[in-house]
Amino acid sequence: MIHTKQYHSEEMTVADRRLLIEGPVEPENLAAMRFDEGLKAFRIPEEQHRALVEIAGLPEGRIIVAREDDLVLGYVTFLHPDPLERWSQARLDDLLELGAIEVSPKVRSGGVGKAMLRVAFMDDAMEDYIVISTEYYWHWDLKGTGLDVWQYRKVMEKVMGSAGLSWMATDDPEICSHPANCLMARIGRRVKPESIAAFDAMRFQNRFLY
């Protein structure tokens, strides 16, 4: 499968900041940007910045950012699932994982997450992919937002749902380890039936166990 990427962008104002929502961003352009200190949900900003530059350089990797001038205040990542995860077992070239979405507290609650997803799915090539998102409560900024796990999950469902991702059942042990965790997915309109069947087989692997 040839991974094509078409750049899109839009502008918005949040908390008196004029943001450019754009992507997929080329690795060299991303490397020249600065990361806001509030982007620390997964690792310290400098390390996350380097990790995103690497993802942007992958054939299938897609990084969408929200930035004020050269300061990144939000990002979304898309790439193939980690080889150690269940979702990579079928080796589907047309399956992408929405691996991370993060917005700085400086512009949070302004619709930035939804805007980044909107720009991501402006690319018609996304209709060739199954896009999944595995939501784990231990990645959520409960302290910073003041939300409990169920309130935060509702927020995530709304954000992901704005891009067409919907809840899907699975018996994956990590997801089943807490009732707030969930699998969400969007199946593009041109995804092959055999890929959908392989994805369904990955979702349920213990159906005959009692």
What is the predicted pLDDT for the residue at 209?
A: 45
Residue-level pLDDT at 105: 92
User: Between the CA of residue 79 and those of 96, 129, 184, what are the distances in Å?
Assistant: 5, 11, 15
Fold of 8-203: Aminopeptidase (3.40.630)
60-118 confidence digits (pLDDT tens) = 999 999 999 999 999 999 999 999 899 999 999 999 999 999 999 999 888 999 999 99
Of residues 2 and 52, more confidently modeled = 52
- Which band of pLDDT confidence, cut at 50, 70 and 90, is reported for residue 151? very high
Is residue 9 a contact partner of residue 21, using CB atoms and an 8 Å limit?
Answer: yes
Domain segments of the chain as ranges? 8-203
pLDDT at res. 210: 42
204: helix, strand or coil: coil
In whole angstroms, what is the distance from residue 89 CA to residue 81 CA? Answer: 9
* CA contacts within 13 A on the Cβ side of 52: 35
Helix, strand or coil for residue 10?
strand
Q: State the pTM of this model.
A: 0.92
